[in-house]
Amino acid sequence: MFKVVIPARHASTRLPGKPLLDIGGLPMIVRVAQRAAQSGADALVVATDHAGIADAVRAHGFEAVMTRSDHATGTDRIAEVAEQLGWSPATVVVNVQGDEPLIDPDLIRQVAQALDQDPESSIATASSAITDSADFFNPAVVKVICDIHGRAMYFSRAPIPWARDAFAASRDTLPAALGAQRHIGIYAYRVRFLQRNARLDPAPMEQVEALEQLRALWHGYRIRVMADVPMPHAGVDTPDDLERVRALFAGGQV
């Protein structure tokens, strides 16, 4: 059993009011909730600090919880929800981003199961194989390296692992045995970790790489990574993204 929380902020630099933007006749946040509800979660909550978002969510039959407006991250907002609703420390919670109206319900369920089956890990996430050299060398594409147990050793914007001999000859293609993995930004947490996370000091490497997940590794928490999952649809960050997703819904492709 697991729960899903969808953090949703109204403020957005590139797309103000993003959760309430229309996609095929419904607010984006409702589209996300509809997909997440298919994951099999025993509870689904939208966590927001905006009354309009909460009203839209409730109007379409989903639960919304009002949270403080001063949370630095979505993870902190989820921790407040867990506290408000009295979830037990062992509860598994999946963080689904509020701007992913095409999120795969199976991916949500699989990440939750990966954490449930790994009692030594505090977080679970996912990654997809990188086959294109442009993606591998792109700092906007976050890479992850795992140990033999499938737990993260490091996340980086740098091209890791580095194929010394192959890249000395050419960087146009990736060696077949490289095994590079692109991190996919979906997380499952145990509530006990959420309770501790807000008190953890930022890690030096987290600040250098601008990757929040490095804080957990720095402090000794284990992160289980589901590797080689199919690359999911991109979320909605820009007006172009919004039009792309609207076209998919209008064309009946989702």
Any domain includes 28? yes
pLDDT along the chain (254 residues), means of 10: 92 83 95 97 95 96 90 84 94 95 96 96 97 96 97 98 96 94 96 91 94 95 96 89 92 74
Question: What pLDDT is stored for residue 161 in this prediction?
Answer: 97
Any domain includes 148? no
Tell me the whole-structure pTM to 2 decimals: 0.92
**Domain at 22, CATH number:** 3.90.550.10
Any domain includes 170? no
Question: Rounded to whole angstroms, how far apart are CA atoms 63 and 247?
Answer: 28
Any domain includes 117? yes
Question: What pLDDT is stored for residue 253 in this prediction?
Answer: 74
What is the total count of domains within the chain? Answer: 1
Question: What pLDDT is stored for residue 241 in this prediction?
Answer: 92
Residue 117 sits in which domain range? 2-126+183-251
Any domain includes 222? yes
| Contacts of 102 by beta carbon, 8 Å cutoff, 6+ apart | 35, 232, 233, 245, 248, 254
Question: What pLDDT is stored for residue 250 in this prediction?
Answer: 86
Any domain includes 96? yes
Any domain includes 141? no
CA distances from 108 to 63, 115, 157, 250 (A): 18, 11, 24, 25
